[in-house]
Amino acid sequence: MTQQDAAPGSGTHDGGQGDGPVPALRVEGLSRHFGSLKAVEDVSFKVRPGSRHAVIGPNGAGKSTLFALTAGALRATAGRVWLHGDDVTSLTEHARARRGLVRTFQHSSLFLRATARENVLLAVQRRHGVQAQPWRAVTRRSALVREADEVLDRLLLSHRSGQLAGALSHGERRQLEVAVALAAAPSVLLLDEPAAGMSPADTHAFQEIVLGLPPELTVLLVEHDLDLVFGVADHVTVLHLGRHLLTGLPAEVRASDEVQHAYLGAEDTSALFFEEQE
Amino acid sequence: MSTDAGLRSRGRRLPLRTAVLVAVVTVLLLLVPWVFGAFTVMTFTRALVFAVLAMSVNLLTGVAGMPTLGQAAYFGVGAYTGALVGIHWSELGVVQLALATLAGVVAAVLTGPLAIRGRGVAFLMITLAIGEIGYTAAGRLDSVTGGTDGMSGIPPVVVTPGGSGLVNEGLIYYYVLVVAAVSYAAVAVLLRSPFGLTLRGLRDNESRLRSVGYRTDSYALAAYVYAGGLAALAGSLWASSQRFVAPGDLGFEISALALLAVIVGGVGSMWGACLGALLVVFTRDYLGQQLSGHAPLLLGILFVLTVYLLPQGVAGGRAQWRRLFPKDHGGDPGTVTPT
């Protein structure tokens, strides 16, 4: 199948995004099969630059697989991924990260025996290209430390900077998770269920953090918590049984019969967000 | 509210206390040849050489999270290189150390890519194989290593050009002490550097490191090469101090003892590894000598006692020491950074 690089409006699942700038992120015909299981099958959508784009779907819809394919943690069976018009399908996860496609993890994935500041520093020093430098103490490279502290400050973690990551609360770890990714200076930030296991208060605080992210940063969010999704997202893509169901504005998604049917058909009633809407 | 690790911030440890401790240890180490007899001084020399090897093992095992049983191979590469350079080319210590380290680095660059294909137990098994190959090769390559007879006739090491060789145990001890101290300083600097943080990140969470753009295999290899060079440096010291190298010096037992020293000392802590090396060598060569032939038994007891009483090793934080001696005044918990 031939692909047209960065041709706006070429996708069939365009969801009304129409003509516009080169998408920050675009997936086309993305599939991943595990044996006979088609976890993700022929999924295509675009994410506009600066968008807050959410991917939702009932349990087993293939959200996590799609996320891993996009980040490069999994190889796609078929399909392509473009970052700012460049085909990154063949790139590994770390190479995509260097190009600005940086992910977080659903289950906090931190450096637990390092302090919060050191967690962030790891991303900062990589970006400055000094990660292999075997001399000069980290503590004395004040420019790096200042930068790390700024990121911690933005994530409301400055008071915890000297603590070991392993000593932080669950909510704080979720924040640090985002801080580490942000410190890698992404142009597209992939958030994998950032509110997983958060209390409602934590989720609300986290929503403020996402809303406070720089407007030029593109955010793709895979999330269960629909309050958070509709609180921050300007575009929503719905997956169902590994397939793309719909991409559209939050209001369109809420109103869609198809989406309603997909969720009502799901066995997990906790996924029924329509009850919460009333 | 728990204050554990609350004060834990690297580089902010009481600098005065550290300075005093370093000064005291330095003075004690300098006094060794003046206080003890020849046998004890030689045991100290072996312990110092072993401490450098233990630091190499600890850099991989404790810092980068890659437990290894193959460092004796690079130790052997350094020992034979140092010996060959000494016999055929230069009796100058600096030349021997430099070429031995270089040989260790080359050996690690060649074998490292194989080893770092695995992590954890897989890495351990590959390094074990590398160690065994090194041991076997040393015994078979008669023309280079002298085979199982070993390599003798290594001339005394010379420190300055035109100087006389070091034959006195005390002087050899000082030579080894200076090189070991410089190695310790180099490793200490590395641990506080960005690269040191990278290695700890590799240990803690490799996939996360990848996700922020690190080509993690490169850093695993870099750690392997650095550790290989350090082990070879220790090997050169071994050749200079013993003036005899045999395959037994790079056998499995040496790798295992180095790992034991690291565990006894406290995984991840460099001064712990050095202290562990001292304990292991003195248990084996000194106490073992007193209780003729029971060195392996004593080492076993040492290991069991450590794992049972101080599971994090001698350097593993004060909490476990306080558990041993509960009447101790309860100071600030957990402020010792085990690095």
**Residues B242-273: tens digit of each pLDDT:** 999 999 889 899 999 999 999 998 888 899 99
In a 3-state reduction of DSSP, which class is residue B151?
strand
Contact B79, B235 (CB under 8 A): yes
CB contact under 8 A, A138 and B192: yes
Give the list of residues 6+ apart from residue B273 with CB closer than 8 angstroms, or none. B51, B54, B55, B57, B58, B62, B261, B262, B265, B266
The tokens describing B86, both together, are: 């000494």
Are the beta carbons of B2 and A167 separated by less than 8 Å? yes
Question: Cβ separation of A132 and B10 shorter than 8 Å?
Answer: no
Question: How many A/B residue pairs have CB atoms within 8 Å?
Answer: 126
Query: Measured between alpha carbons, how far is A185 from A218 in angstroms, rounded to an integer?
Result: 11
Q: Contact B195/A131, CB-based, under 8 Å? A: yes
Q: What is the pLDDT of residue B15?
A: 78
Q: CB-based contact (8 Å) between A141 and chain B?
A: yes
* Domains in chain A with CATH codes: 1-100+186-278 (3.40.50.300), 109-185 (no CATH)
Are B208 and A109 a contacting pair at CB < 8 A? yes
Chain A residues with beta carbon closer than 8 angstroms to that of B9: 115, 162
Hey, which residues 100-129 in chain A have their CB within 8 Å of chain B?
102-103, 105, 109-115, 118, 121-123, 125-127
Quote the percentage of chain B above a pLDDT of 70: 92
Query: Which has the closest alpha carbon to A247: A224, A274, A220?
Result: A220
When pLDDT is averaged across residues B170-177 and rounded to a whole number, the result is 95
Name the band, by pLDDT with cuts 50, 70 and 90, for residue A3: very low
3-state class of B339 per DSSP? coil
Q: Does B226 touch chain A (CB under 8 A)?
A: yes
Strand-strand pairing, A78-83 and A25-34: antiparallel
Model pLDDT, residue B331? 45
How confident is the model at residue B324, as a pLDDT? 77
> What mean pLDDT is predicted for residues B274-294?
87
Average pLDDT of the residues in A213-227: 90
| CB count in 10 Å sphere of residue B327 | 6
Token match 């996860």: residue? A93
CB B65 within 8 A of CB A111: no
Mean pLDDT of chain A: 83
Rounded distance, CA A57 to CA B176, Å? 66
Reported as a single tens digit per residue, the pLDDT across B87-124 is 999 999 999 999 999 999 999 999 999 999 989 899 99
A246 — pLDDT class (breaks 50, 70, 90): confident
Give CA–CA dist A132/A128, Å, rounded: 11
- Subunit contact A97:B210, Cβ cutoff 8 A: yes
pLDDT band at B333 (very low <50, low <70, confident <90, very high): very low
Q: Which of A55-64, A80-89, A242-251, A259-268 has the lowest mean pLDDT?
A: A259-268
Q: Please report the pLDDT score of residue B287 as a whole number.
A: 84
Q: Taking a C-beta distance cutoff of 8 angstroms, is the pair A70, A38 a contact?
A: no
User: Averaged over B215-227, what is the pLDDT?
Assistant: 95
Which member of A110, A121, A167 has the closest CB to residue B197? Answer: A121
Check whether A18 has a pLDDT greater than 80: no
In chain A, the residue whose alpha carbon lies closest to the alpha carbon of B190 is A134
CB contact under 8 A, B194 and A131: yes
pLDDT surpasses 50 at B11: no
Which of A109, A112, A125 has the CB atom closest to B197's CB atom? A125
Asked if B159 contacts B93 with a C-beta cutoff of 8 angstroms, the reply is yes
User: pLDDT band at residue A204, thresholds of 50, 70 and 90?
Assistant: confident
Residues of chain B numbered 9-28 and touching chain A (CB < 8 Å)? 9-11
Percentage of residues of chain B with pLDDT beyond 90: 65
Model pLDDT for residues A47-106, shown as the tens digit of each residue: 999 999 999 988 888 888 999 999 999 999 999 999 999 999 999 999 999 999 999 988
Instruction: Give residue A8's pLDDT.
Output: 40
SS3 B115: helix
DSSP state letter for B244: -
Mean pLDDT over each residue of chain B, to the nearest integer? 88
Q: What is the pLDDT of residue B206?
A: 93
CB contact under 8 A, A131 and B207: no
Residue-wise pLDDT for A97-156, tens only, equals 999 999 998 888 999 999 999 999 999 999 988 888 888 776 655 788 899 999 999 888
**CB burial string B287-306: b at 16+ within 10 A, e below:** ebeeeeeebeebbeebeeeb
| Residue B203 Cα, gap to closest chain A Cα (Å) | 9
Residues B260 and B267: their CA atoms lie apart, in Å, by 10
Distance of CA B70 to the CA centre of its chain: 12
Nearest CA-CA distance, residue B202 and chain A, Å: 9
Question: Two tokens at A106?
Answer: 């659903």
Average pLDDT over residues B308-337: 67
User: CB of B59 within 8 A of CB of B195?
Assistant: no
The answer to whether B194 contacts A98, with C-beta atoms less than 8 Å apart, is: no
Q: What pLDDT is attached to residue A19? A: 55
Rg of chain B over all Cα atoms, to the nearest angstrom: 20
Instruction: Write the ipTM.
Output: 0.82
* DSSP letters for B253-287: HHHHHHHHHHHHH-TT-HHHHHHHHHHHHHIIIII
Specify the residue for token string 């802590």: B269
Q: Mutation test of the interface with chain B: which of A110, A125, A128, A147, choosing the one with the most B Cβ atoms within 10 A?
A: A125
B223 SS3 class: helix
Chain B residues with CB-CB distance to A92 below 8 A? 210
For residue B8, what pLDDT band results from cuts at 50, 70 and 90?
Answer: very low
Residue A12 has pLDDT above 50, yes or no: no
B316-320: which pairs have CB atoms within 8 A and are 24 or more residues apart? Answer: B316/B266, B316/B267, B316/B269, B316/B272
Which pLDDT value is given to residue A20?
Answer: 65
